Structure 1
Amino acid sequence: MERQIVIKHENEEIAASIHYPAKGKQEGRCKLRAPLVVICHGFVGSRIGVDRLFVKTARELATEGFLVVRFDYIGCGESSGNYGEHGIDSLIAQTRTVLEYGLDSFDIDPTRVTLIGHSLGGAVALLTAVKDRRVKNLVLWSPVGYPFTDIVKITGRRVYDNAIKNGRADYLGYGFTSHFFDSLGTSQPFQEATKFTGDVLVVHGTSDESIPVDYAFLYQKVFWTRPEGRCDKEILFQANHTYSSGEHQSELIRKTRHWLGGLEAVQTDWQHWMI
């Protein structure tokens, strides 16, 4: 079952969709708590995703017993507000608001809370996880590594120059302020990655023309320097930035589902050992 909801964030409304775990997936004397997944979309994206990627992911994970929340950042999709008006700190704050809603909306196992982030949403998910210890796992799809450089590459230098000169610049109908770009410049996901102690899965396609696939190797190298927490990497041959083929999309969802399922198995074994 799924339904459309609105989550209040300061003076704005975040449009979201919540997918409830399939019945029969929770077992045990008092029905085991469900794991939570929150999906963070990328730059000027929405909770639907290109070729409905996030919709399909949420529905498939829900059949596996996960409670899944996907949402539109302020100014995107059906949410209120202007996307490019605020900085990356606002994106982090919005993610935490949605996380709070997800944790309060069902009987959630606090030890099994995951953020899935795509592109810029991957960087936001990572930065959120560093700030919010309730996040235990990360799944990063084609994550941005250098927010300012990567996003300016996408928008073009002229958009950035106009924002600095005029205070605001148009890109695809979105108005981006100089503050938005300044905030990207102060965000350093690679440096912050070492502060996250949970498990991580990084997935990237070799034909990604927006964000270099080399970032996946660099992210894994950085995560490996931590004293705790594992990091797994999956490279999808010829997949583009949005996994826009049936084969690549299915492979991405399958690998994500299996990785999360592996964490579930470890958690179950640990619970049995404790008993």
Structure 2
Amino acid sequence: MEHTITIQSENAELAATLHYPTDQSGGAGKADCQRWPLIIICHGFIGSRIGVDRLFVKAAREFSSQGFLVLRFDYGGCGESTGDYGAGGLDVMIEQTRSVIDYALTIDCVDLSRVILVGHSLGGATALLTAAKDNRVKTLVLWSAVAHPHNDIVRIVGKSEYERLPLGGSIDHHGYLLTSRYFDSLSKHQPFEQLRKFNGDVLVIHGTADDIIPVDYAPLYQKMFWMRQQGQCDIELIYQADHTYSTSLSTKELLEKTTNWLAIIQKRKKEWNDWTI
């Protein structure tokens, strides 16, 4: 069962789609109101909740078939949301993600101990930065995550184009007006520095044929996460997968690795809780 909804944030009305858990035959499992783990999907730079080649639609439906309540949404100024994407930058995206968490946790039957952010590309950095300041987030899954927001987005936009950005002005990138404030916000946030504030478990996945965000970021993320005092970090590399996992094989592997890892983490936590009792 899927519902299109609107979530109010300070800066925009965020278009979103809510997927209730289903069994393998597609029957909704809402009636018995067991406590469901929650996955919130954070899309990347000038993306949408649909994703390239419908990646996030496929992911949400797969996750819901595995017993997760899933919420995918458009950041302000993207997809069907209101607002101006290029005006605010990461500060606004973090606050919008927290507004989505606020909404999601008002839904009946959400398991507050299993709130998971799945972030792709710039959405990976946004998910991480959100988790670093919001302890309601318990688990992170990073798909092809940006590690240096300012440098990575400048490289995507084009350095020569960025250098033409007037002070206090904007540049046009595929119809999005990216302001100097937007880029200033990107430079202010350093995921490698902030990640130590998050003590939950993390899965890092990256495609080896990613020509947008370097695959080298994945082992660096793992190394930095393992330097924390709490929480573990696992890494999975998907051979020949591009930035958006555009082949059916790479999408299948991405979703399998993600759901298998989440199942292992849940089993481990349950066994630990049973042992401590």
- Tell me which interval the TM-score lies in, with the shorter structure as reference length: over 0.9
Of 214, 224, 227 in structure 1, the residue corresponding to residue 226 of structure 2 is 224
> Which 5+ residue runs of structure 1 have no aligned equivalent?
none
* Count of aligned positions: 273
**Letter of the 1:54 counterpart:** F
For the pair 1:17 / 2:9, whether they are aligned, the reply is no
Q: How far apart are the structure 2 equivalents of 1:87 and 1:31? A: 38
Task: Check conservation: 2:46, 2:78, Cα contact below 8 A.
Answer: yes
SS at match of 1:42: coil
Deviation at 1:13, TM superposition (A): 0.7
Aligned position for 2:254: 252
Give the direction of change, closer, same or farther, for the CA distance of 1:81–1:248 in structure 2 (3 Å limit): same
Paired residue for 2:107? 105
d(CA) in 1 for partners of 2:254 and 2:166? 38
The equivalent of 1:176 in structure 2 is 178
Superposed displacement of residue 274, structure 1: 5.5
Offset of 1:165 from its aligned partner? 4.1
Contact preservation (8 Å) 2:144, 2:215: yes
- Offset from partner CA, 1:107-144 (integer Å, 9 cap, x none): 11111110000000000000000010000000000000
Q: What corresponds to 1:200 in structure 2? A: 202
Give the drift of 1:34. Answer: 0.5
Deviation beyond 6 Å, 4+ runs, structure 1: 24-27
Per-residue CA shift, 1:142-200, capped at 9, x if unaligned?
A: 00000011000000023322333461110000000000001111110011111110000
- What does residue 74 of structure 1 align with? 76
Q: Distance in 1 between matches of 2:82 and 2:229?
A: 41
- In 2: Cα distance, 1:270 partner to 1:245 partner: 38
Instruction: Please list the CA deviations of residues 200-246 of structure 1 after superposition, one character each: whole Å capped at 9, or x if unmatched.
Output: 00000111111110000000000010111000000011111111100
Q: What stretches of structure 2 of length at least 5 have no aligned partner?
A: none
* Match runs of 1:1-80 below 5 Å: 1-22=1-22, 32-80=34-82
Q: Please give the TM-score of this superposition, normalised by the length of structure 1.
A: 0.95
Distance 1:36 1:176 in 2: 32
Provide closer, same or farther for how the CA distance between residues 53 and 173 of structure 1 changes in structure 2, counting only shifts above 3 A: same
Say whether the 8 Å CA contact 2:222–2:235 is kept in structure 1. Answer: yes
Q: Which amino acid aligns with 1:94?
A: Q
Partners of 1:200 and 1:87 in 2: how far apart?
24
Cα distance in 1 between the residues matched to 2:11 and 2:156: 30
Aligned to 2:105, the other structure's residue is in SS state helix
* Matched residue SS, 1:162: coil
Shift of 1:262: 1.2
Task: Describe the SS at the equivalent of 1:32.
Answer: coil
Deviations 1:87-121 (A, max 9, x none): 21100000000011111123111111100000000
Matched, 1:83 2:85: yes
- Alignment correspondent of 1:140: 142
RMSD (Å), alpha carbons: 1.8
Q: Percent identity?
A: 55
State the 1:11 CA deviation: 4.7
Residues 160 and 178, structure 1, Cα contact 8 Å, conserved in 2: no
